[in-house]
Amino acid sequence: MLPTTLVELSRGLARGDFSSRELTQHYLDRIKQLNPSLNAFITINEGQALQAAAAADESRAANNATAMTGIPIAVKDIFCTRGIKTSCGSRMLDNFIAPYESTATAKLQQAGFISLGKTNLDEFAMGSSTETSFYGPTANPWDISRVPGGSSGGSAAAVAADLVPAALGTDTGGSIRQPASFCGITGLKPTYGRVSRWGMIAFGSSLDQGGPLAKSAEDAALLLNAIAGFDERDSTSMNRPVEDYSALLQQSIRGLKVGLPVEYFSDQLNDGIRESVHNAAKELEKLGAELHEVSLPRTDLAIPAYYIIAPAEASTNLSRYDGVKFGYRCAAPENLSDLYRRSRAEGFGAEVKRRIMLGTYALSAGYYDAYYRKAQQLRRLIKQDFQATLAEVDVILGPTTPSTAWQLGEKNADPVAMYMEDIYTLAVNLAGLPGLSIPCGFAAGLPVGLQLIGDYFSEARLLNIGHQLQTVTEWHLQTPKT
């Protein structure tokens, strides 16, 4: 029986319990067996992965290996991977072979990780269920009639089903944390600017952040260590040294002040989720943390603010897809206008087009002040609420999502219904704060996630709290029957 965490796999490789080639073959076999029913992967890099595994074994034999050398990983198909198809879950990029490597995936390679393939996502990261993908939905390994969450649903499902020990995702409004919650795994959205966005296909440039999905906070820290860092090529990358995100894991949380916002525990919240989250909070209390009631009064306004800002930024970012320089081009364009209009209408799916339309409207002359500027003002108020609260407490705790994983197809009739499910995660992206989702129980047999929100660049502290909870609970050790 092979171990399933990065920590244990690293030890096993170092001891010679198994080789990287054996490990890689093991995961590739599992992918072959389970991907047909899960559809977690868009592209599987079998040949390259086995080659890289052989090279990793040689490095290890020559004493040139590091902790993560030769460990398989999966990458959300939104990161440009040189020479490998990078589709962003869209027909628009179905034929796109990335001509360059993103900074985040280059750093994974430098750390020794071996990518087994590119995982499924909502088209251009727009969605909360991985149902808008051009390649069809991904299934939740806990119940394949249900969604894995989104937009990093492929990465989350792959980790939950042990197709890989960890994966890279992106989060613009909850797209790492929510699927982590729905799939019973750990997911971290780092502080805005912590991980380079260069080569990470842009959706909402002031909101997007790449981050880890893994089996534990301990593993997420190892992955964050590999991908974090200042990048000259990303003008929003923060010039801050990369600390060791594993360094604080063992720290006691005695005296830690944990704030539970009243707005996160309203009557609307599913009772099973409420109970799981409260029980987890009590476990933190037993470890010495202090629970405090706090208030984030503008919680509800995060939804309208986000659903103006994100589509607005998306409309600008997606204007580059014009059938000229790369991507899908319509057949027999009559003139330049026809080329643009039909390439885009045919290349993009319905949700993406809805958001482009909304964003275009919100930014257009005469409406910019009432919508985009207004939303940016709300954004500052939301940020201020968090800052005021984080001056009173060390960390904010609440459910990651108001519901557990819904049925495939259940929420497709009304886009707004799905938008409402993002209520606890959106504000964190608006404020640019780091957020960690960890498993904290089950409701009617489906995973429940708890979210921890910390101050800017407090990822080590969040991972510490997550790890401490994971030393006294076993939710993160549960795996679906596959």
Partner 1 sequence: MTLDRAKVASVAELARLAINDDELSDYQQALNDILALVDQLQGVDTSTVEPLANPLDATQRLRADVVTEGNQREQLMSVAPHAEGGFFLVPKVID
Residue type, 154: G
Report the alpha-carbon distance of residue 454 to residue 366 in Å, rounded: 38
Q: Which residues contact 241 (CB under 8 A, 6 or more apart)?
A: none
76 annotated active-site: yes
Q: CB 33 → partner 1: shortest distance, Å?
A: 33
Output the smallest distance, CB 227 to partner 1, in A.
19
Instruction: Encode burial over 153-168: b for 16+ CB neighbours within 10 A, e otherwise.
Output: bbbbbbbbbbbbbbbb
Instruction: Tell me how far, at minimum, the Cβ of 283 lies from partner 1, in Å.
Output: 31
Q: Respond yes or no: is residue 90 known to be catalytic.
A: no
Whether 151 is catalytic: yes
Query: Closer to partner 1 at the Cβ: 227 or 433?
Result: 433
Burial of residue 442 (number of CB atoms within 10 Å: 0-12, 13-18, 19+) = middle
- C-alpha 386/C-alpha 192 separation (Å) is 15
Which is closer to partner 1, CB of 282 or CB of 380?
A: 380
436 DSSP assignment: E
14 versus 381: smaller Cβ distance to partner 1: 381
CB 322 → partner 1: shortest distance, Å?
7
Q: Which is nearer to partner 1, 114 or 378 (CB)?
A: 378
Q: How far is the CB of 360 from partner 1 (least distance, A)?
A: 4
CB nearer partner 1, residue 70 or residue 204: 204
Catalytic residue among 151, 155, 246, 276: 151
Residue with Cβ nearer partner 1 (307 or 424): 307
- State which residue, 79 or 142, has the beta carbon closest to partner 1: 79
State the Cα–Cα distance between residues 296 and 89, nearest whole angstrom. Answer: 35
Would you say 358 or 462 has its CB closer to partner 1?
Answer: 358
Which is it for the CA torsion 278, 284, 285, 289, positive or negative?
Answer: negative
Integer Cα distance of 150 and 179 in angstroms: 5
Single out the catalytic residue among 19, 76, 129, 155: 76
Contact 235, 452 (CB under 8 A): no
Least CB distance to partner 1 at residue 389 (A) = 16
Given the complex with partner 1, which of 247 and 357 has the nearer CB atom? 357
Q: Please name the residues in contact with 217: beta carbons below 8 A apart, sequence gap of 6 or more.
A: 186, 249, 436, 438, 462, 463, 464, 466, 467, 469, 470
What is the nearest approach in angstroms of partner 1 to the Cβ of residue 246?
A: 25
Q: Cα(433)–Cα(378) distance, rounded to whole angstroms?
A: 16
Q: To the nearest whole angstrom, how small is the minimum distance from the Cβ of residue 422 to partner 1? A: 12
* Sequence-distant (≥ 6) Cβ neighbours of residue 69 within 8 angstroms: 13, 20, 56, 59, 60, 112
Report how far residue 278's alpha carbon sits from residue 86's, in angstroms, rounded to the nearest whole number: 41
Cβ contacts of 364 within 8 Å, gap of 6 or more: none
Q: Could you tell me if 480 and 439 are in contact, meaning their C-beta atoms sit under 8 angstroms apart? A: no
C-beta of 193: minimal distance to partner 1 in Å?
6
Contact indicator for 356, 311 with CB cutoff of 8 Å: yes
Task: State how far Cα 311 lies from the chain centre.
Answer: 18
Q: How far apart are CA 453 and CA 327, in angstroms?
A: 37
The CA-CA-CA angle for residues 182, 186, 188, to 5°, reads: 105
Catalytic residue, candidates 19, 152, 175, 403: 175
Tokens matching residue 129: 């269920």
Residues annotated catalytic, as ranges? 76, 151, 175
